[in-house]
Amino acid sequence: MFASFGNSIKGREQLWKAFWLWGINGNIISISLFFLITHFFRKDEEYAFLAPLYFAIAQIFYYVISMVMIWKCSPNVGLGRKTISYLSRMFVVLSPSIFILIFSLEYYILLNANWK
């Protein structure tokens, strides 16, 4: 699994692994962990602000790395599938707006949630 991560960063992995395994699933897990960590640290007043902030920085860092993986692995789709390669690069270009929307929704839910 970690070999696949290293190969994806170098652009040697197949596109589907970089896209689905590290891009989509990795970011879904990252968002889920953000909500869990925020929920547990919200009870502790000392870490109520810092823990979500540090995790948000880590989440942004992972997002950037996963988009670089997808970009570098986009030529690795096989013969006659250049359209998929171009679509994956278009996804990388357009995804920051999607990421900003999801990230702002996370904080909106976080700020307006009634955690008891």
Establish how many alpha carbons lie within 13 A of residue 67's alpha carbon, considering only the half-sphere containing its beta carbon.
17
Mean pLDDT confidence for 9-34: 89
The answer, yes or no, to whether residue 113 has pLDDT greater than 70, is: no
Please tell me the predicted confidence (pLDDT) of residue 114: 60
What total number of domains does the chain contain? 1
Within a domain: 106: yes
Within a domain: 18: yes
The answer, yes or no, to whether residue 107 has pLDDT greater than 80, is: no
Within a domain: 6: no
What is the reported pTM? 0.78
Token pair for residue 93?
């270009």
Within a domain: 62: yes
DSSP state of 96: H
Q: Print the domain residue range for 78.
A: 11-112
How many CB atoms within 10 Å of residue 115? Answer: 10
Within a domain: 36: yes
Within a domain: 64: yes
Within a domain: 1: no
The confidence band for 48, taking pLDDT boundaries of 50, 70 and 90, is: low
